[in-house]
Amino acid sequence: MILSGDDIHKALAEGRMIVEPVPGKDQIDTTSIDLHMGEPLWIWDPDLTRPEGEALKINLDEYDYREFSKKHQQEVSKEPSGKYILQPGRVYLGSTFEKVRFPAGSKLAGRVEGKSSFARLGLVVHMTAPMIHCGTGLGIITLEMFNHGPFAIEVTPGKTRICQLILEEVSREPEERTGRTFTQQEDAQG
């Protein structure tokens, strides 16, 4: 069951979910919470991932994301205005400004989704793996973004409402899981 806006307010008040900083009433819609763009923003370094004369191959059965990302990603610089520019045809790894947690006893989980107004510009805000599991630690949500549109898009950390979190009630109280790859993330590199 997807929670309504009233149920979201109630879950926050009861501590069934934790969002830091606490969302304003204007961030909570009829069935979701708007989350803001965080920082930093990362791209796959084209000079490192496409060395002259050879293609970089990744064996998904053997690679370690954290190790790989530290070697092949670079941080995107902000404009003097404090905005990031999302260029067409690029994959970006960003994050939410807010940190989110669903305590194990809450019987809540969430899905992060893009916003239709941005999708209409060609911006995919969250490509895959939308599930935020019950029992996860307090952390940011990583956003795998791609600009399919024909123009550059400006986003402002802490201001642009980049995605929405949809809350769902699970049928039973799940066990708390630890040691997962992306639990309690501090940035998009894991």
Q: Is 144 a catalytic residue?
A: yes
Place of tokens 């530290």: 70
Q: Sign (positive/negative) of CA torsion 60, 182, 155, 164?
A: positive
- Between the two ends of the chain, the Cα-to-Cα distance in Å is 30
> pTM of the entire structure?
0.85
DSSP β-bridge partners for residue 85: 154
pLDDT of residue 110: 93
Beta bridge partners of 166: 111
The pLDDT score that the predictor gives to residue 50 is 63
Domains along the chain?
Answer: 5-50+70-169 (2.70.40.10)
Q: Which of 67, 98, 113, 144 is catalytic?
A: 144
Strands (E), the chain: 18-20, 33-36, 42-44, 73-75, 84-86, 91-95, 99-101, 108-113, 123-124, 131-132, 142-147, 153-155, 161-169
Asked whether the predicted pLDDT for residue 186 surpasses 90, the reply is no
Question: What pLDDT shows up at residue 176?
Answer: 60
Closest CA to 144 of 94, 189, 78: 94
Q: Write down the pLDDT at residue 16.
A: 93
Omega cis (within 30) before 150: no
- What is the pLDDT, as a whole number, of residue 119? 94
**pLDDT for 159 beyond 60:** yes
Upper half-sphere CA count for residue 32 (Cβ side, 13 Å): 13
Residue 58 gets which letter from DSSP? -
